[in-house]
Structure 1
Amino acid sequence: MKQQTDTPEKPDDFSPWRFCVAPMMEWSDRHYRVLARLHSRHARLYTEMVTSAAVIHGDRDRLLGFDASEHPLAVQLGGSDPDELARAATICTDYGYDEINLNVGCPSDRVQNGAFGACLMREPDLVAACVGAMKAAVALPVTVKCRIGVDDQEPRAALFEIAEKCVAAGVDALIVHARKAWLKGLSPRENRDVPPLDYALVHELKRALPATPVAINGGLETLAACRAQLEGLDGVMVGRAAYHDLSQWIDVDPDLFGAAAPHPDSRAAVEAYLPYVERKLGEGARLADITRHMLGLFAGRPGARAFRRHLATEAVKRGAGPEVVRDALRALDRTWRDFAEPAAEEARDSA
């Protein structure tokens, strides 16, 4: 089903990739993305990776369907066949996405067995051919998300070669996870943490390619860290930190885009999320599949544990509905009041 484009107007003078939420397998599904959008109107959201073969041959509405509120939204494709990727990119364009992103960074065994993802760092000519084929097929921006190298590659040589060949093929932006991937010896989880970060190399790449937007990914856990990287780069991409604690990103729009936040805090964002929850439940979704993305909200705030515990125990029950979320918010509020009222009384007494 084709989606209508409803992209919010982006403040002037900012790169489309200024703040991005990374593609995360099994995490950045459509339910999460709608919740993330309620925390920022201007963040660029990315789907989970979907293979080009699945797009062509699979259940497209299940794989590619999304809510109109998610714009600006990019689809991440996995694949290594230029013609197949071009066909998949055309299908994704018809669904109404805002960008096609090619995965050249995932180190999982499944991706390696399919001869795409991070192992493509060794095949820059093929990656460039994939970019060129998609650019010829669609008018959308075509971008690449890559590592700085794999295994025993020398990072500067590997990154610069693939970047320069993608630029020659017409790539619209490069998103660089500033770590190597070790395809043998480290698990996908370890590949997110163990290889050291090299932010300086990504900044060097941007200086070498001043006309090409370059965004950085890896280890960015706070808005302050993002602002530091934006000194010299066009954008940042945040992954796990934007999943495990969305609450801290409610200030993305005012801090990075000079625009008002969509809601004053995460509690208000959850209230605004409820109509979506009700609609999806009416379409047959399970509440637990939606609320699992809310368990990290309010981290460090009194009441977060009560909120999380209520969702975890009640949302999985047969017939669970939106009242579970409302009750979880009430549990959050009760704990917050129990904490705040004595603190306020103590402050008055000491004044």
Structure 2
Amino acid sequence: MAKRDLAKAKLMIEHGANVNHPAPGTESTKPDPGEPVPPGSPLGQGMMPGMLPGMMPEMGMGMPGLNPMMPPGMMGMGMLGESDEVDLESLSVISLVARVGDSDLLKLILEKGADPAREEPDGSTPLHHAAANPEGAVLSQLLKHQPELYTRDDNDQTAVAQAAEGGLIENVRQLEQAGANLNDHIVINAAIRSLNRELVAHLIDSATKPLNENWNRALPELEKIIWPGERGMRMGMNPYGMMAPPPVPPSTEEELGSIRAIATLLLENGLTSANLKTASDVTDLTLEKLNAARRQSEDLDNDGDLIGVDEDGDGFDAYDEKLTGHSDNDPNDRPTQEEVDAAIQTYEREQEK
């Protein structure tokens, strides 16, 4: 499938390949390195548990987070990779096909007895993975089997939250029509992270007004995209237990445009947050201003050695004078204590963003 060789996969399934591989409860079972590989085993052909014929690891199908079916621009613009960092090697055949395959192959394995209610080791189901597939026909095919819509994986996400995370509004609409609940804070926050304004607007249109407590974290979630470094977010574990890089702040006007549009939409619907309360707060979200504030914060973070140093003997140390824009080499150029206090409060507010 890495080469889109669906014909080969289809042929082998039609000739009896096990569509329920691996057997439930044995997903993590791998042969001992010292054990001979059984004759005819797919592991002897460079394949790994859960892989269909044609899914060769050297082509990247075993790479966490890589989805060859995902066209550019369809992964959302916010905290990229949260829902796409999936260890494809750990998935059963049906979940793998649901996530990166097409509707014809999914239909075939379902006809051959694949279990549409299969549960993966991480608590996800084929529906979660179909919801994350930008080819909506895959999700449509699976929904014909009336799978459980409210199953939550180990990250407490339902299938519709997976679709929202990827900004896949058509998949969200399909699941909504099937009966999925959109008024869920996890779904809402996932949609915010996708930076898909149309999707956020759809969730608002679908919600009872005024917006309830499920929307309380919407703007703070957006703030985490705008000011990730200042929130102390560093290298850590992603939701699937693998090391993930820290999120990066917005770097393009296109991305900031989406952020401003979503922030405006949320403010218009009565929501506020610590740093986004008015239209002017949104207008101030420009690359120039964000980068300037970030540089100032980094400069001050590196100036700890100026604390307590008073070169000009005016009673204010070099750190306070730099913070307020005064010179520590001129005793006649000194701040007032009120200036220092105000500058420190401003700096601390910036650090809380």
Same fold (TM over 0.5): no
With normalisation by structure 1, the TM-score equals 0.33
Higher-Rg member (1/2): 2
> Larger relative contact order (C-alpha < 8 A, sep ≥ 6)?
1
With normalisation by structure 2, the TM-score equals 0.33
